[in-house]
């Protein structure tokens, strides 16, 4: 596609419910990132994939958060037993390759706004 | 730990009134400093990458500059469509791989007609 697509755009979950957020990166993009953006804050790094390999998951806030990219394209961020502090916008970003990040930046999706009630 | 601090948090200008946004950073080794624009309900949109002190980049009414400790985003004769949140982010030299960006909280800019 022409851009990074994320679904759903909005998700309301009851506390304790599991959720799955989907990211469709630009076709051919090797690098894929997930970020969490709380209201009024800048995005915070969660995890990074290069193709299907998860090279960095140091930003995942707890073991309730899990991300996968099994075929090196679509990625899913799963949050188990959601809590109110998980309410945020979850952004996905992709890049053609590591060496293109600096001159062209990442392309971000519009995000999924998760509200835990 | 890498840190990015942006100021002011919010800025309201009249159309045509030029100003600058500040981004102060501390990073173990700078690979690149990024400026992004974010509109409500959208993801950040890439504007510039700066690599080393003294570098400048321009795009339409925007000009970004970099020193060893901070970066400025200068907005010349802004228009209402320049209203957005402007985010600064740094990427550190990690010795390999593509590390995540460390973002500031952003400056919410409003340009009044």
Hey, are the CB atoms on A4 and B43 less than 8 Å from each other?
Answer: yes
Find the CB nearest A43 among B32, B44, B46: B44
Instruction: Provide, as residue numbers in chain B, all residues whose Cβ is less than 8 Å from the Cβ of A103.
Output: 49
Question: HSE (CB half, 13 Å, CA atoms) of A111?
Answer: 22
Task: Average the pLDDT over B90-112 and give the result.
Answer: 84
Give residue-wise pLDDT tens across range A66-94.
999 999 999 999 999 999 999 999 999 99
pLDDT band at B95 (very low <50, low <70, confident <90, very high): low
Reduce the DSSP state of residue B9 to 3 states and report it.
coil
pLDDT at B12: 98
**For A16-42, what is the mean pLDDT?**
96
State pLDDT tens for residues B7-56. 999 999 999 999 999 999 998 889 899 999 999 999 999 999 999 999 99
Task: In whole angstroms, give the CA distance from residue B68 to residue A85.
Answer: 36
- pLDDT reported for residue B29: 87
> What pLDDT, on the 0 to 100 scale, is given for residue A49?
94
Among A34, A47, A48, A106, which would you mutate to test the B interface (most chain B Cβ atoms within 10 Å of its Cβ)?
A: A106
| pLDDT confidence band for A2 (50 / 70 / 90) | confident
Residue of chain B with shortest Cα separation from A34: B100
Strands (E), chain A: 5-7, 10-13, 19-24, 31-37, 44-50, 53-56, 65-68, 75-79, 88-95, 107-108, 112-116
A104 lies within 8 A of chain B by CB: yes
For strand A65-68 and strand A53-56, is the pairing parallel, antiparallel, or unpaired?
unpaired
- At A104, which helix (H) or strand (E)? helix A101-104
H-helix or E-strand containing A103?
Answer: helix A101-104
Contact B36 A31 (CB under 8 A): no
Q: How far is A20 from chain B (nearest CA, A)?
A: 19
Cα(B73)–Cα(B81) distance, integer angstroms = 16
- Put simply, whether A24 touches B (Cβ < 8 Å) is no
* DSSP secondary structure, A28-60, as one string: T--EEEEEEE-TTS--EEEEEEETTEEEE-TT-
pLDDT of B76 > 80? The answer is: yes
Our CA-based measurement puts residue B41 at a distance from the nearest CA of chain A, in whole angstroms, of: 7
Q: Give residue B92's pLDDT band: very low, low, confident or very high (50, 70, 90).
A: confident
Digit-coded pLDDT (tens) for A92-117 = 999 987 766 777 888 999 999 999 99
Q: Which residues pair with B31 in a beta bridge?
A: none
């Amino acid at each position: 596609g022409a851009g990074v697509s994320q679904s759903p755009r909005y998700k309301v979950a009851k506390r304790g419910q599991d959720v799955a957020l989907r990211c469709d990166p630009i076709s051919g993009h090797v690098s894929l990132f997930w970020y969490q953006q709380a209201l009024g804050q800048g995005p915070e790094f969660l995890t990074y994939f290069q193709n299907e390999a998860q090279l960095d998951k140091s930003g995942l806030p707890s073991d309730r958060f899990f991300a996968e990219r099994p075929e090196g394209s679509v990625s899913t961020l799963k949050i188990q037993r959601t809590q109110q502090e998980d309410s945020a916008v979850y952004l996905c970003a992709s890049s053609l390759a590591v060496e293109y990040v600096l001159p062209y930046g990442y392309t971000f999706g519009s995000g999924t706004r998760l509200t835990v009630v | 730990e890498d840190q990015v601090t942006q100021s002011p948090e919010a800025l309201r200008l009249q159309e045509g009134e030029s100003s600058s946004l500040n981004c102060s950073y501390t990073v173990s080794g700078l690979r690149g400093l990024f400026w992004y624009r974010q509109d409500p309900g959208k993801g950040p949109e890439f504007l510039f990458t700066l690599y080393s002190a003294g570098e400048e980049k321009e795009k339409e009414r925007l000009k970004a500059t970099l020193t060893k400790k901070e970066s400025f985003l200068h907005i010349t004769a802004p228009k209402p469509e320049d209203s957005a949140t402007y985010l600064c982010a740094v990427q550190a030299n990690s010795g390999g791989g593509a590390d995540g960006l460390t973002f500031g909280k952003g400056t919410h800019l409003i340009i009044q007609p």
